[in-house]
Amino acid sequence: MLRKCRKAHAFIGVLCFAILMGASGCRERTSNIDNSNHTLVLGFAQLGAESSWRIGNTKSIIEAARDAGIQLMYTEAEQKQENQIKNIRSFIAYQVDIIAFAPIVETGWENVLQEAKEAGIPVILTDRKIEGNEDLYTCYIGSNFITEGEMAGEFLKKKFYYTKDEINIVELVGTLGSSPAEERSKGFRQSISDDEKFRIIESVCGDFMQSKGKEAMGKILKNHDNIDVLYCHNDSMALGAIAAIEEAGLVPGKDIVIISIDGEQEAIDALKAGRINCVIECSPMLGPKIMDTAKRIMNGEQVHKAIYIEDRVFTEWDDLSDLPPRGY
Ligand code: AHR
């Protein structure tokens, strides 16, 4: 059993932004939480606050840690991988019990994860996946992004079932090199590949941000007057793109069919108002599952390597009048 003490205030000084939930004084680290006096310490390295989804995700994690009696050390990396790596290293230095993080991109994590492994600290990937050696982390908790892309394609095939003409699609892509961007692109292409009428005429990065979604769509609209469909990798970019479409004098949801992913309240409201045609859910409410899994791992239980959250599809054909508030 490894025994080390650190002062919480010393830790705060190391981080650019941190919330310590109930952190105090010295503590004991163990790989098996069988001692009721021990408060499990989880270091969570969030990637940033780029979207409403992310803000909802952060809220879920902070609340779930509090409810589970887990001491949370929380950091944000302002969408920069080097910050996220630095924050994970701080958790290792502090000798937290367990680390969870949402990797901004898929590559470049080997060294820091090897350091965590050597320190005996298990790592949970949440929300996004990484490429490479699966031995460097314990499990992944989040959505299946390939399935989300496929669901977007399935909606399109139903929507244009009776149309013979070519359908011109524009895609607003999330952060390049991130697993949701890669897999939502892949799943969507796989789904529409069996019908030649679907043509992706532009695919532009909007970095999952509303402002960049608006900017990218504004430029695309200047170059094309034949767009039938806009497929957005998240709601924030879709809401930005809708503003650009309206500024160009077009009617979103009618002149251009819009499909988006996340299911945040504003997008569901736009769907109800006919300005979006289909929203694929991607739940950010991962907190309870992360806390439960962290406890299981620390109790020495085996957990599944990939723990997927089930997502739904909301379309213009559904009655959404009874849908409870989304909470993000
Ligand atoms: O990784 C999940 C994606 O990241 C969400 O779809 C998006 O809104 C967020 O920024």
pLDDT at residue 284 is higher than 70: yes
328 Cα: distance to centroid of ligand 1 (angstroms): 12
Question: Which residues, in sequence order, are bridge partners of residue 248?
Answer: none
CA distance 259 to 279: 6
Model confidence band, residue 15 (pLDDT cutoffs 50, 70, 90): very low
> pLDDT tens across 215-248, in order?
999 999 999 999 999 999 999 999 999 999 999 9
Q: What does the alpha-carbon distance between residue 174 and residue 180 come to, in Å, rounded to a whole number?
A: 7
DSSP β-bridge partners for residue 308: 142
**The pLDDT of residue 16:** 40
Distance of CA 273 from the midpoint of ligand 1 (Å)? 23
Q: What domain range is 17 assigned to?
A: 2-143+284-310
Residue with tokens 């205030």: 9
pLDDT band at 142 (very low <50, low <70, confident <90, very high): very high
Angle made by CA atoms 142, 259, 285, in degrees to the nearest 5: 25
**Residues 265 and 188 both lie in one domain:** yes
Give me the residues paired with residue 307 across strands: 141
Mean pLDDT for the chain overall? 91
Q: Cα–Cα distance between 284 and 146 in angstroms, integer? A: 17
The residue assigned the tokens 């998240």 is 234
* Nearest ligand 1 atom to alpha carbon 264: 8
| Structure-token match 């701080």, residue found | 90
Domain shared by 151 and 273, yes or no: yes
**Confidence band for 22, pLDDT divided at 50, 70 and 90:** very low
Number of domains in the chain: 2
Which atom belonging to ligand 1 lies closest to the Cα atom of 53?
8
135 and 23 co-located in one domain: yes
271 occurs within a structural domain: yes
Print burial letters for 222-247: b (CB count within 10 Å at least 16), e (below 16). eeeeebbbbbbbbbbbbbbbbbbbee
pLDDT at 27 over 80: no
Mean pLDDT of 128-138: 96
Q: What is the CA radius of gyration of the chain?
A: 21
pLDDT of residue 38: 81
Residue type (1 letter), 258 = I
* 225 and 291 together in one domain: no
Identify whether the C-beta of residue 224 lies closer than 8 Å to the C-beta of residue 191: no
β-bridge partners, 306: 140
Q: 207 C-alpha vs ligand 1 centroid, how far in Å?
A: 9
Ligand 1 binding site (Cβ under 6 Å of any ligand atom): 50-51, 53-54, 127-128, 180, 208, 234, 236, 261-262, 282
**Average pLDDT score over residue span 92-118:** 98
- The reply to whether 14 and 42 lie within a common domain is yes
Q: How confident is the model at residue 148 (pLDDT cuts 50, 70, 90)?
A: very high
pLDDT at 26: 38
- Counting ligand 1 atoms within 8 A of each CB, the residue from 178, 282, 326, 328 with the most, and so the one to mutate, is 282
* Residue in 127, 140, 143, 239 to alter for ligand 1 test, most ligand atoms within 8 A of Cβ: 127
Q: Do residue 18 and residue 138 come from a single domain?
A: yes
Same-domain check for residues 138 and 271:
no
Same domain, 72 and 127: yes
pLDDT at 37 over 90: no
- Cα–Cα dist 230/106, whole Å: 25
- Integer Cα distance of 264 and 15 in angstroms: 30
Residue 238 falls within a domain, yes or no? yes
HSE value, Cβ hemisphere, 13 Å, CA-based, for 248: 23
Asked whether residue 328 is domain-assigned, the answer is: no
Per the document, the length of the chain is: 328
